Amino acid sequence: MNFKNKLQKLFLLLLLIIPFNVFAYSEYIIPGGGNIGIEVNSDGIMVVGFYEVNGKNIGKNSGFQVGDRIIKVSGNNVTSIDNMVKLINTTMQNNIVNFTVLRANKKVDINLEVFKDKSGVYKTGLYVKDSITGIGTLTYIDPETKIFGALGHEIIEANSNIKMEIKDGKIFKARITGITKSTEKTTGEKNAKFDDDVTYGTIKENTTSGIYGIYNEVLDKSNLKKVASPNEVKVGDASILTVLEDNNIEEFSINILKINKTGKTKNILFEITDKELLNKTNGVIKGMSGSPIIQGDKIVGAVTHAIVGDNAKGYGIFITTMLKEGED
């Protein structure tokens, strides 16, 4: 037997002996269902709109666009809105302030002439935001890596309808205090009380398939669920895990109507069939995003979107899509 043949046999033998894990994530994960408070900090100060100063739209006319992220004022790095205001007041020259913004990942310099209002305060004509706080549902925690995923969709700034590019963030304790029901024209929502002193984890990413980070609390591994592949998801009975009152996670029945394996989101079309859930919410509501979808004792996906006007129906994302995104 020559040396090459020996190596080939040895390689085949090693493949038989050494287990090969095709999953970048754990095969069994901890299902969520509990509500979380969410706070994310923008990577730069986000321009979300404009207002007139002395009858002129000075911000827009100077070249700013909604979605611009202010990263520098007069060459100084900006860390917060308060910091930006201070830099504007201390670095302007003849009422001109130089801004550096990120637009489509390219740096753009803008000179803005600021004006005093009637109260003597300098105005930029820019509506800006440096953080967003809201409520969502935890989808899963990987028991091996402690990576968590939530929401099943990106965090969007409401006024501009643009995805927020984040620097960091956190998830923290939230308690459901009431439900605003959906109507024919509006999507209902969970009402919550936040306790941001009780932090559960840190957010690292805001993506089209959810938010991801590291969970800091001690893990309960007593109720692990096996991860279902997209091919295992079937039309028919399933359930979701979510909270309607306080911190009580409950399981409610749904019916999966259609499966879309081609898209990255909106993979699962479902309808709520649980009478108790429909009675309390009138359908899919805000704050339910991220609620795990369970079928056949496996976790198959997460709730992502409501359908306005057809409130009992909603969309979900495959759990494998979230897991792959979280592990990247």
Domain boundaries, the chain: 28-34+137-327, 52-124
So which residues are the catalytic ones?
153, 274, 289
Q: Coil, helix or strand for 15?
A: helix
56, amino acid identity: K
**Which pLDDT band, with edges at 50, 70 and 90, does 22 fall under?**
low
Min mean pLDDT across 3-7, 131-135, 203-207, 324-328 is at: 3-7
CATH topology of domain 52-124: Pdz3 Domain (2.30.42)
**Which pLDDT band, with edges at 50, 70 and 90, does 121 fall under?**
confident
Following CA atoms 150, 154, 155, 156 in sequence, which dihedral angle do they give, to the nearest 10 degrees? -160
**Which pLDDT band, with edges at 50, 70 and 90, does 116 fall under?**
confident
* pLDDT score at 8: 52
Same fold, 28-34+137-327 and 52-124: no
* pLDDT score at 238: 98
Task: Give the architecture (CATH level 2) of 28-34+137-327.
Answer: Beta Barrel (2.40)
Q: Are 212 and 325 in contact (CB under 8 A)?
A: yes
Per residue in 153-166, pLDDT tens?
Answer: 999 999 899 999 99
| pLDDT at residue 73 tops 70 | yes
Per residue in 234-254, pLDDT tens?
Answer: 999 999 999 999 999 999 999
**Which pLDDT band, with edges at 50, 70 and 90, does 16 fall under?**
very low
Q: Are 225 and 29 in contact (CB under 8 A)?
A: yes
197, amino acid identity: D
Separation of alpha carbons 304 and 315, rounded Å: 6
* pLDDT score at 119: 80
What's the average model confidence in pLDDT over 225-230?
98
In the block, residue with structure tokens 């900006």? 78
| pLDDT at residue 13 tops 50 | no
* pLDDT score at 24: 76
Of all residues in the chain, what percent carry a pLDDT higher than 90? 84
Per residue in 267-321, pLDDT tens?
Answer: 999 999 999 999 999 999 999 999 999 999 999 999 999 999 999 999 999 999 9
| pLDDT at residue 17 tops 90 | no
* pLDDT score at 117: 79
Separation of alpha carbons 294 and 43, rounded Å: 35
Q: Are 302 and 317 in contact (CB under 8 A)?
A: yes
Tokens at 272, concatenated = 């709520």
Contacts 24+ apart (CB under 8 A), 305-309: 305/153, 305/266, 306/182, 306/187, 308/185, 308/186, 308/187, 309/184, 309/185
